[in-house]
Chain A
Amino acid sequence: DAKTTQPPSMDCAEGRAANLPCNHSTISGNEYVYWYRQIHSQGPQYIIHGLKNNETNEMASLIITEDRKSSTLILPHATLRDTAVYYCIVRADYNFNKFYFGSGTKLNVKP
């Protein structure tokens, strides 16, 4: 599975949009992009995933570039409870068991 690169930390003001980037330049055509987050030592929580098209759900939006080499997770109105480590993972559709977590981005939402 392709590797991902994320900034180690980011700050965001409460109420503003948080845009978390992820680089996955070696992604192949059958690999999906997944985002998870971990709030202070709780179990990681699934946020969203996508293949080619942009995706939106009640938690976030996922923007994938046309060449699929990078993506951005958008939390439209960040709250203090969104402070967490956010993990970007790529996984081939046939490797359904293999989720490998990197070091993620620590998002600090500030009042």
Chain B
Amino acid sequence: AQKITQTQPGMFVQEKEAVTLDCTYDTSDQSYGLFWYKQPSSGEMIFLIYQGSYDEQNATEGRYSLNFQKARKSTNLVISASQLGDSAMYFCAILDRRNQGGKLIFGQGTELSVKP
């Protein structure tokens, strides 16, 4: 079975600094996808960034980048130049490709607080 682990329940970062949110996964599949979502207090899930298991380059999207280490089964999210609006819950998820459709298995999340 696939599993996602986020070991940081809460993180603090100073505004304008970079922060790394950790995520490790466990899967026996050769082909899988890794996602990061942001969930502000309003409850919506905002897609941030995606990494395919066969992608050789680390994914980047604006201020978001992934430190994807396949051998270690980790995909840490790096947020550069933190902003106050980055304060939210962040969820890492793995896509279960074995089943039909896009079933996402989520980690427990990390609550990020950006200090002014």
A and B co-occur in one complex: no
